[in-house]
């Protein structure tokens, strides 16, 4: 529950107006991040009820994902996400109902019609590209899209791809970075560094403290930002995307963040990280930090915030109810869409 007294200040890097963001945009993002967290809460509940067989969390990553989404020309720039990006696809225009339809494997699941396990987001209309579960395989698709823009001579267009720090050890990731660097393609590589690849800490999966330093070997700049600071992420993502669209080449943008829940509902994170560590990161929860900023800047008061939270819970309740009522896929759909005509 929120403390009734407004906190003393905020710890975000920028004032929103300095970045050209309106009050309404900040409040919309705050609301969106609360929606994302609430959807995440409810997915875990559905898992415990045995209704959602697989849950993979975006809790803790919301500022990274909303900050990047703000910089995307939605429906024009391509987004090539990974399983951690539920908050991202909500920020890009998918709805809580879409998320629950996907989690429950319903016929109308916009990601896959009930084929893929939760976390494999997709919407061709929003140019969100369908992915596999194979870690690190998808940044290459962003690179190929960027090559396509070169052939079709479309400018002012970029591809943004997302992955964890663990994925940066994969060969396919290295190949994507290599090709993007050679041809200075309009791709922004966003590393959501939450410091663990399931149970393995960063020190045992990445040989350098900052993933961003890897960029030097691929002929592109690397940037490190506080991934729990919405405005810092936005500023960096905006700069990287603008440079890419203007023909300035790719960027590796590392957003330092933390996953506040276990990797998935099949994981027990108490086996590999201490409660004190998790609590320390909870104190830097990106949503709490944005709330403090909004209160401090008098964009909203505590009562307004409470109203948002109540409204979001009601909205999410409706989405779950609709998704639960939605029909399952038809049995014969199992054999559909293997080949086109």
Partner 1 sequence: MPQLNLIEAVRSAMADAMAEDARVFVLGEDVGLKGGVFLATDGLLARFGPDRVVDMPIAEAGIVGMAIGASLHGLRPVAEIQFADYIHPAIDQILNEAARLRYRSNGDWHCPIVVRAPFGAGVHGALYHSQSTEALFTSTPGLKVVVPSTPYDAKGLLIAAIRDPDPVIVFEHKQLYRGVRGDVPEGTYTVPLGQAAVRRAGAQISLFTYGLMAHYSLEAAKVVADEGIDVEVIDLRTLYPLDQATILGSVRKTGKALIVHEDKLTGGVGGEISALIAEHAFEALDAPVRRLASPDVHAVAFSDVLEAHFMLNPQKIATAVRELAAY
Residues that bind ligand TPP (CB under 6 A): 84, 133-135, 163-167, 192, 194, 196-198, 263
Among candidate residues 189, 206, 159, the one with its CA nearest the CA of residue 255: 189
State the Rg of the chain over Cα: 20
The distance of closest approach from Cβ of residue 82 to Mg ion in the complex, given in angstroms and rounded to an integer, is: 10
| Pick 52 or 80: Cβ nearer partner 1 | 80
* Binding-residue pattern over the window 77 to 116 for partner 1, x denoting contact by CB under 8 A: -x-x----------------------------xxxxx-xx
Residues 6+ apart with CB under 8 A from 325: none
- With both helix axes pointing from N to C terminus, report the angle between 171-183 and 139-152 in degrees, rounded to the nearest 10: 20
The distance of closest approach from Cβ of residue 312 to ligand TPP in the complex, given in angstroms and rounded to an integer, is: 24
* Binding-residue pattern over the window 155 to 174 for partner 1, x denoting contact by CB under 8 A: ----x-----------xx--
143 binds, among Mg ion, ligand TPP, partner 1, none (CB under 5 to 8 A by kind): partner 1
Stretch that binds Mg ion, among 14-22, 160-168, 244-252, 273-281 (CB under 5 A): 160-168
| Pick 197 or 253: Cβ nearer ligand TPP | 197
- Interacting residue with partner 1 among 45, 148, 280, 321 (CB under 8 A): 148
84 binds, among partner 1, ligand TPP, Mg ion, none (CB under 5 to 8 A by kind): ligand TPP
Stretch that binds Mg ion, among 18-26, 109-117, 161-169, 208-216 (CB under 5 A): 161-169
Angstrom distances, CA of residue 234 to CA of 40, 225, 310: 22, 10, 27
Q: Provide φ and ψ at 201, rounded to 5°.
A: -70, 160
Is the separation of the CB atoms in 183 and 213 below 8 Å? Answer: no
292-324 burial code (b ≥16 CB/10 A, e <16): bbbbeeebbeeeebeebbeebeebbeebbebbe
Is the separation of the CB atoms in 19 and 235 below 8 Å? Answer: yes
| Pick 130 or 199: Cβ nearer partner 1 | 130
The distance of closest approach from Cβ of residue 53 to partner 1 in the complex, given in angstroms and rounded to an integer, is: 17
| Pick 89 or 316: Cβ nearer ligand TPP | 89
| Pick 93 or 302: Cβ nearer partner 1 | 93
Stretch that binds Mg ion, among 40-48, 171-179, 196-204, 316-324 (CB under 5 A): 196-204
Q: Using the rule CB under 8 A, is 123 a contact of partner 1?
A: yes
Q: Using the rule CB under 5 A, is 58 a contact of Mg ion?
A: no
148-186 burial code (b ≥16 CB/10 A, e <16): ebeeeeeeebbbbbbbbbbbbebeebbebbebbbebebb
CA 83, 281, 304, 313 torsion-angle sign: positive
Q: Using the rule CB under 8 A, is 73 a contact of partner 1?
A: no
Give the span between the Cα atoms of 265 and 218, in whole angstroms: 36
8-31 burial code (b ≥16 CB/10 A, e <16): eebebbeebeebebeeeebbebbb
- Interacting residue with Mg ion among 47, 137, 194, 257 (CB under 5 A): 194
Q: How many other CB atoms are there within 10 angstroms of residue 245's CB atom?
A: 18
Number of residue whose CB is nearest Mg ion: 164
Residues that bind Mg ion (CB under 5 A): 164-166, 194, 197
The residues that touch partner 1, with contacts defined as CB under 8 A, are 78, 80, 109-113, 115-116, 120, 122-124, 129-130, 132, 134, 137-138, 140-152, 159, 171-172, 175-176, 178-179, 182, 336-341
């Amino acid at each position: 529950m929120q403390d009734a007294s407004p906190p003393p200040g905020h710890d975000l890097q920028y004032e929103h107006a300095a970045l050209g963001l309106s009050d309404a945009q900040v409040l919309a993002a705050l609301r969106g991040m609360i929606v994302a967290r609430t959807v995440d809460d409810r997915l875990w509940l559905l898992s415990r009820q045995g209704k959602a067989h697989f849950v993979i969390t975006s809790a803790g990553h919301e500022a990274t994902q909303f900050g990047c989404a703000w910089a995307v020309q939605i429906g024009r720039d391509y987004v090539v996400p990974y399983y951690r990006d539920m908050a991202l696809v909500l920020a890009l225009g998918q709805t809580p109902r879409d998320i629950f339809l996907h989690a429950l494997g319903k016929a109308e699941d916009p990601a896959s019609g009930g084929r893929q396990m939760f976390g494999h987001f997709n919407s061709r209309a929003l140019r969100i590209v369908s992915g596999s579960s194979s870690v690190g395989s998808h940044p290459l698709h962003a690179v190929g899209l960027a090559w396509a823009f070169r052939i079709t001579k479309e400018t002012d267009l970029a591809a943004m791809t997302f992955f964890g720090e663990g994925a940066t050890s994969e060969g396919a990731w290295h190949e994507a970075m290599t090709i993007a660097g050679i041809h200075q393609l309009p791709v922004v590589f966003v590393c959501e560094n939450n410091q663990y690849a399931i149970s393995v800490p960063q020190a045992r999966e990445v040989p350098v403290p900052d993933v961003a330093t890897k960029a030097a070997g691929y002929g592109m700049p690397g940037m490190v930002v506080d991934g729990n600071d919405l405005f810092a992420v936005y500023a960096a993502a905006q700069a990287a995307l603008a440079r890419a669209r203007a023909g300035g080449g790719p960027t590796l943008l590392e957003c330092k963040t933390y996953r506040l829940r276990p990797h998935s509902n099949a994981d027990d994170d108490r086996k590999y990280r201490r409660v004190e560590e998790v609590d320390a990161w909870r104190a830097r929860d990106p949503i709490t930090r944005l709330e403090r900023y909004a209160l401090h800047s008098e964009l909203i008061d505590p009562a307004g915030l409470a109203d948002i939270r109540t409204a979001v819970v009601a909205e999410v309740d409706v989405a779950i109810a609709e998704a639960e009522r939605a029909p399952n896929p038809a049995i014969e759909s199992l054999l559909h869409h293997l080949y086109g005509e």
